[in-house]
Structure 1
Amino acid sequence: MKIMLKIGSLIGLMLTIVPPVLFFLGKTEFNSMKLWMGIGMLAWMLTAPFWINKQADRRPETEEN
């Protein structure tokens, strides 16, 4: 399940990075860029919190004297 969340997050990040580059190069229109960036933002926001916080729980506890 965590692998699927990471893949979804990666796709979301790519959908927020690639469309502006394509718009800058003149390969896509402004409205199309906004649509894909919005979809990418939602994908990132819905998938990333579930696996990013899990890595913070793996830190070893330190001994207190």
Structure 2
Amino acid sequence: MKILTKIVSFAGLALTIVPPIMFYLGSVELDSAKIYMGVGMFMWFVSAPFWVNSKA
């Protein structure tokens, strides 16, 4: 379960970082980039608390 939350949270982080770069390069429209970033933000904030502060 911890591995799955890490995968989801890193995918969300990627969806937060990559769309602005793609918009800058002209690959994505602004509205699409905002949607991707919103989904990525939601994924990160929902999944990250389950593993960020947990003990190893």
TM-score by length of 2: 0.96
TM-score by length of 1: 0.83
Equivalent residue for 1:3? 3
Alpha-carbon RMSD: 0.8
Equivalent residue for 2:36? 36
Identity of aligned residues (%): 54
Question: Does residue 1:16 correspond to 2:16, yes or no?
Answer: yes
**Which runs of no fewer than 5 residues in structure 2 stay unpaired?**
none
Which of structure 1's runs of 4+ aligned residues deviate more than 2 A?
A: none
Higher relative contact order (CA 8 A, sep 6+): 2
**Count of aligned pairs between the two proteins:** 56
Equivalent residue for 1:53? 53
User: Looking at CA atoms only, which structure, 1 or 2, has the larger radius of gyration?
Assistant: 1
